Amino acid sequence: MTVICVLEGGGGQSIDTSISVTLPPMAIYPIRTFPDPVLAMHASDVTDFGDPLRKLADDMLETMYDAPGVGLAAPQIGISKRFFVADIGEGPFVMANPEIVETHGKWKYEEGCLSVPGRYWMIKRSDYVRAVGRDLEGNTVEFEGDELMGRLLQHEIDHLHGTLLLAHLSSRVRNQALKELREDPLGVRRVP
What are the residue numbers of the active site?
156
Q: Nearest residue to Ni ion, using CB?
A: 113
The phi and psi torsions of 114 (rounded to 5 degrees) equal -60, -25
Question: Is residue 77 a contact point for Ni ion (CB under 5 A)?
Answer: no
Applying CB under 5 A, which of residues 3, 5, 149, 152 lies at the interface with Ni ion?
A: 5
User: Applying CB under 5 A, what is the total number of residues that bind Ni ion?
Assistant: 2
53 binds Ni ion (CB under 5 A): no
Give φ, ψ of 70 to 5 degrees: -110, -5
In the complex with Ni ion, which residue's Cβ is closer, 5 or 94? 5
> Within the chain, how many helices (H) and strands (E) appear?
3, 5
64 binds Ni ion (CB under 5 A): no
Cα 106 to Cα 109: distance, rounded to the nearest angstrom? 10
Contact between 67 and Ni ion per CB under 5 A: no
Smallest separation (angstroms) from Ni ion to the CB of 99: 18
Residue ranges in 142-181 that form contacts with Ni ion under rule CB under 5 A: none
Find out whether the peptide bond into 35 is cis, omega within 30 degrees of 0. yes
Cα–Cα distance between 173 and 161 in angstroms, integer?
A: 22
Spatial CA neighbour of 101 closest among 44, 67, 142, 149: 142
Please select the residue that binds Ni ion; options are 113, 123, 148, 186, rule is CB under 5 A: 113
Residues in the site for Ni ion, rule: CB under 5 A?
5, 113
